[in-house]
Chain A
């Protein structure tokens, strides 16, 4: 086919899902001339699975993306229809925001952000191959023969790459939601020698709200007070919809078990590895057969549609069985279905092939993000997209990589887990994965990251100033609480209500607040000069004071952790030349090429003794 030269870019992003959008916006905002390609512009920022953003670990990721100057938080603030803070009763380290999105509006708002972004071209087009010069990527070739040259390319192909859908006994090549798959690129990458793996994920059926009996379900409303995702917003709109809870029963399970062999999964059609934390309903029923019922949520897909998402019930059963078991559930007896549930297999790589800046170790200038790296989830994808975008832009302008460590952000935990430990199933963020969870809170992502985002040129002046103001306000409030003394008699009622003994002498508001069970809101009875501050500032002043002792303890641990992170390892280090390191460790180190001794110490198969030996060699070589 005739090929022709089109534009010359700094960064070309293949894919405009949650990873691709953040990647393109970040690169362009940092001054890189950027192209974002999507096989179908109607699929930009598509929520192919559930219509929600956030949740445990994930909500924190969105806050971090926002703090660094990303888009996800802003878009969900504009398009949410219900918002909740999960884990409110379980402590600040695990408070996790989650919002139901209007799916269509989310897509439109994100697409509009890309359209409006200076220095960014958004184009419909299918990349079918990469251009190479030796071991360096040079650009992309489109199906039309168009060549877009680029200093760096970001692959953010999601479930489009080599996508194959499974529904019962039927299977066919397809991207998500009926969009076309990227099959040519899948083949080209294999031909280039990239080691490709297959992962799978799944989604439930969609039904029409008007066909459901909501009176047979439990309503779940949004929070009364909503703290926005984006640090740029002081307040946001209101809840406009509810979610609904219902449960499966013996009948549901019977239908599923009787037809288990008709599912693509149990019928043996699916070869890809699916995540255990996102099991299909047939998996849940089969593996946890002693469980009498499974919970599901009915989530609205938007305000302009009657379609609802049946959360907790993804499936690869054939459509007739799907209809039967869904209808056995209270509230769904007469459900009308618009789309059937399906499983989808897609291409991904082993993320151990990536450096912590998400650049491929064997192909210079090629960055990878999202499901292509073996993760799952919109937020995980967006976080990697943002970091890939930043690092591609840095690379294109010959600047040093930008890497966050495990003590700085969930983003750091996410990427370190991927590139150091690798994945055997799609990776989902959880707060339990973060060692320094108490520091990586959703309320302080701007305090942790906005300065850094500003330094690399991603955070706008406006955002930076907003951050400085919020930071100052927090400090002022914390100091006020520390300095305001309360007389024993004034605190008596508050204390007795919370089960504490009365005080012998005066006490500061901060000291009162440090007591478990005494909340900022409850202090208002003794705090007559309380300033008018935003919910966000209030929240973090409270957490800062309440957890002060524990935060200090964690900071000490972080200091120890950083010592090894700061000992850098040269990229071309010859581990095989080192005596005293076991062979297995040499092999792992040579393969993973850790950037620091800290990263080396987390590689499985590298023992503490190996790390000690490494330290000695570095010292001897005068490397630090």
Chain B
């Protein structure tokens, strides 16, 4: 129970700062491994120690100890047990409020061997260590119960459908391998194909590839690591760059009235309602002779291919044209939101027209169960809220909004995938070294358990059941 845990302990959102809290015996060591103090003006000549004094806040950077890259500029403090919130050694890292920064700092801590805190775990530890009044016990229980149920439910529901299927497939693959191992180890006298070291390596290598691929491509995993990829697309001069700027609340892209101004794709990181987002502005898609612009259009198509969500920008002051249709076709097999811009001008097209147009062009079914069309005027700042609502809805998929859990579960998922992967990799190494199957099996079983935690399947009796279902063994 005294292992070290970490979590983002401020609500995720548009706060100025956010806090990653680490509690447990390793918290000082972990903090010191991640923290690089900023050399003060006078300290330039002598090395600044990474060590923390009890209850002194220090200014510096959290850096990735592997790459050496700075992740965020922070204030950090270490507090010695027992006079802390949890009653254990506690480190707090005060980051910038951005969800991306918080998540990166948390991921680094997890990589240093810290476990992700369960919902309500800090409070639970505080209570168990005698830091909370006895009368608060009931509240703690409610908290654990409510938070666990909520997180558990949302963790499963929030899973991208495809991730869930992939994880299940992976897990089925591991189950099969474990069943083969079990029957080989527990029924050595039976007439059953021997599982060789080579078979195990092959199986594990295939699993390893699959997990790596999944880890890299999964919706949730990538949201956690890079943010949701949102691509702004549309025919030229419908206001894509203006929309980007509006969402960023600042001017980054060059906005002109000449169609085709944006020739490269522009990428920006931002946070909408606490959801980390990579927003990509693209060159307008149109038939073009200009070679430079052609490159840009090609880039747009590529950007679309890697997106989680597309914002298809249309012009309310014009009728829907062939040019719009070309863009619709590009997004038709993706998830997208139609954004009808320039509603401040004389209207030629409204949301109903757009919905009918989407349906008649057969793009509907891929857009979840409904086409979303948002009317707005970027110029006047009208409708921006509605668009942000729609993006948020997209992430939560109509599930109850559960505050910080979206982010936490995302981190949780990538964390679990990583853990499963490292168990499998170790298993491959062991197998290659010639270790016997009984020694490798615990690694495979742990990988199986980690994946089970993602999908919420934790039953462990399956393997033995499966042995008897698949093999004819016994006297």
Chain A residues near B (Cβ < 8 Å): 49-50, 55-57, 86-87, 89-94, 96, 247, 275-279, 284, 287-288, 291, 293-295, 297, 311-312, 314, 421, 430-433, 437-438, 516-517, 547, 550, 554, 563, 579-580, 607-609, 612-613, 615-617, 619-620
Cβ of A276: which chain B residues have Cβ within 8 Å of it?
468, 474
Q: Is the CB of A430 within 8 A of B464?
A: yes
Task: Determine if B289 is an interface residue (Cβ-Cβ < 8 Å).
Answer: no
Q: Which of B28-36, B136-144, B206-214, B215-223 contacts A (4 or more CB under 8 A)?
A: B136-144
**One of B134, B144, B186, B437 near A57 (C-beta < 8 A):** B186
Beyond A56-B185, A438-B442, A580-B142, whether A314 also contacts B464 by CB under 8 A is no
Q: Is the CB of B438 within 8 A of A91?
A: yes
Chain B residues near A (Cβ < 8 Å): 1, 118, 124, 127-128, 134, 137-138, 140-142, 144-145, 148-149, 182, 184-191, 433-439, 442, 461, 463-464, 467-468, 472-475
Q: Is the CB of B127 within 8 A of A619?
A: yes
Q: Is the CB of A433 within 8 A of B137?
A: no
Q: Is the CB of B1 within 8 A of A277?
A: no
- B130, chain A: closest CB distance, angstroms: 9
Q: How far is the CA of A356 from the CA of B373 in the complex (A)?
A: 63
- Beyond A49-B475, A91-B435, A616-B137, 18 extra complex contacts between A and B, CB < 8 Å: A50-B475, A86-B188, A90-B185, A91-B436, A94-B185, A288-B472, A311-B475, A314-B475, A421-B461, A431-B438, A432-B185, A432-B463, A437-B438, A438-B439, A438-B442, A516-B433, A613-B141, A616-B127
Cβ of A92: which chain B residues have Cβ within 8 Å of it?
436, 438
Cβ of B137: which chain A residues have Cβ within 8 Å of it?
616-617, 619-620
Cβ of A550: which chain B residues have Cβ within 8 Å of it?
439, 442
Cβ of A547: which chain B residues have Cβ within 8 Å of it?
439
Q: Is the CB of B144 within 8 A of A580?
A: yes
- B425, chain A: closest CB distance, angstroms: 16
- B237, chain A: closest CB distance, angstroms: 55
Q: Is the CB of A275 within 8 A of B438?
A: no
What residue in chain B is nearest A247 (Cβ atoms)? B191
**One of A275, A293, A615 near B128 (C-beta < 8 A):** A615
Q: Is the CB of B185 within 8 A of A563?
A: no
**One of A91, A247, A288 near B439 (C-beta < 8 A):** A91
What residue in chain B is nearest A421 (Cβ atoms)? B461
Interface hub of A86, A96, A607, A616 (most chain B Cβ within 10 A) = A616
**One of B437, B467, B475 near A90 (C-beta < 8 A):** B437
Q: How far is the CA of A550 from the CA of B426 in the complex (A)?
A: 12
Q: Is the CB of B475 within 8 A of A312?
A: yes
The 9 closest A-B pairs by CB, nearest first: A91-B436, A516-B434, A91-B438, A580-B141, A93-B438, A295-B191, A276-B468, A288-B472, A609-B148
Beyond A93-B438, A438-B439, A616-B137, whether A86 also contacts B189 by CB under 8 A is yes
Q: Is the CB of A284 within 8 A of B1?
A: no
Is chain B's interface secondary structure helix, strand, loop, or mixed overall?
A: helix
25 A/B residue pairs, CB under 8 Å, sorted by A: A50-B475, A56-B188, A86-B188, A87-B188, A90-B438, A91-B437, A92-B436, A92-B438, A94-B185, A294-B191, A432-B182, A432-B185, A432-B186, A432-B467, A516-B434, A516-B436, A517-B434, A547-B439, A550-B439, A579-B141, A580-B141, A580-B145, A608-B118, A613-B144, A616-B127
Cβ of B463: which chain A residues have Cβ within 8 Å of it?
432
Cβ of B437: which chain A residues have Cβ within 8 Å of it?
90-91
Q: How far is the CA of A198 from the CA of B20 in the complex (A)?
A: 57
**One of A291, A311, A438, A580 near B472 (C-beta < 8 A):** A291
Q: Is the CB of A431 within 8 A of B186?
A: yes
Cβ of A297: which chain B residues have Cβ within 8 Å of it?
189
Cβ of A438: which chain B residues have Cβ within 8 Å of it?
438-439, 442
Q: How far is the CA of A517 from the CA of B140 in the complex (A)?
A: 54
Q: How far is the CA of A612 from the CA of B125 in the complex (A)?
A: 11
Q: How far is the CA of A559 from the CA of B188 in the complex (A)?
A: 31
Q: Is the CB of A275 within 8 A of B186?
A: no
- A128, chain B: closest CB distance, angstroms: 34
Q: Is the CB of A87 within 8 A of B472?
A: no
**One of B439, B442, B474 near A278 (C-beta < 8 A):** B474
Q: How far is the CA of A275 from the CA of B186 in the complex (A)?
A: 16
Q: Is the CB of A616 within 8 A of B435?
A: no
Q: How far is the CA of A287 from the CA of B468 in the complex (A)?
A: 11
- B467, chain A: closest CB distance, angstroms: 8
Q: Is the CB of A430 within 8 A of B475?
A: no
Cβ of B438: which chain A residues have Cβ within 8 Å of it?
90-94, 431, 437-438
Q: Is the CB of A616 within 8 A of B185?
A: no
Cβ of B127: which chain A residues have Cβ within 8 Å of it?
616, 619
Cβ of A288: which chain B residues have Cβ within 8 Å of it?
472
Q: Is the CB of A612 within 8 A of B439?
A: no
Q: How far is the CA of A563 from the CA of B365 in the complex (A)?
A: 53
Q: How far is the CA of A620 from the CA of B439 in the complex (A)?
A: 41
Cβ of A87: which chain B residues have Cβ within 8 Å of it?
185, 188
- A289, chain B: closest CB distance, angstroms: 10
Cβ of A615: which chain B residues have Cβ within 8 Å of it?
124, 128
- B133, chain A: closest CB distance, angstroms: 11
**One of A57, A314, A616 near B140 (C-beta < 8 A):** A616
- A76, chain B: closest CB distance, angstroms: 18
What residue in chain B is nearest A202 (Cβ atoms)? B475
Beyond A94-B438, A547-B439, A615-B128, whether A287 also contacts B472 by CB under 8 A is yes
Cβ of A433: which chain B residues have Cβ within 8 Å of it?
464
- B101, chain A: closest CB distance, angstroms: 30
What residue in chain A is nearest B475 (Cβ atoms)? A311
Q: How far is the CA of A619 from the CA of B438 in the complex (A)?
A: 39
Cβ of B141: which chain A residues have Cβ within 8 Å of it?
579-580, 613, 616-617
Q: Is the CB of B188 within 8 A of A612?
A: no
Cβ of A96: which chain B residues have Cβ within 8 Å of it?
188
- A248, chain B: closest CB distance, angstroms: 10
Beyond A56-B188, A579-B138, A612-B124, whether A516 also contacts B474 by CB under 8 A is no
Interface hub of B144, B148, B185, B435 (most chain A Cβ within 10 A) = B185
Cβ of A563: which chain B residues have Cβ within 8 Å of it?
1
Cβ of A94: which chain B residues have Cβ within 8 Å of it?
185-186, 438
What residue in chain A is nearest B119 (Cβ atoms)? A609
Q: How far is the CA of A604 from the CA of B468 in the complex (A)?
A: 21
- A287, chain B: closest CB distance, angstroms: 7
What residue in chain B is nearest A55 (Cβ atoms)? B189
Q: Is the CB of B124 within 8 A of A609?
A: no
Q: How far is the CA of A390 from the CA of B464 in the complex (A)?
A: 31
- A560, chain B: closest CB distance, angstroms: 8
- A434, chain B: closest CB distance, angstroms: 11
Beyond A430-B182, A438-B438, A619-B128, whether A277 also contacts B474 by CB under 8 A is yes
- B444, chain A: closest CB distance, angstroms: 12
Interface hub of A275, A432, A580 (most chain B Cβ within 10 A) = A432
Q: How far is the CA of A93 from the CA of B445 in the complex (A)?
A: 15
- A457, chain B: closest CB distance, angstroms: 35
Q: How far is the CA of A50 from the CA of B474 in the complex (A)?
A: 12
Cβ of A432: which chain B residues have Cβ within 8 Å of it?
182, 185-186, 463-464, 467
What residue in chain A is nearest B183 (Cβ atoms)? A432
Cβ of B475: which chain A residues have Cβ within 8 Å of it?
49-50, 278, 311-312, 314
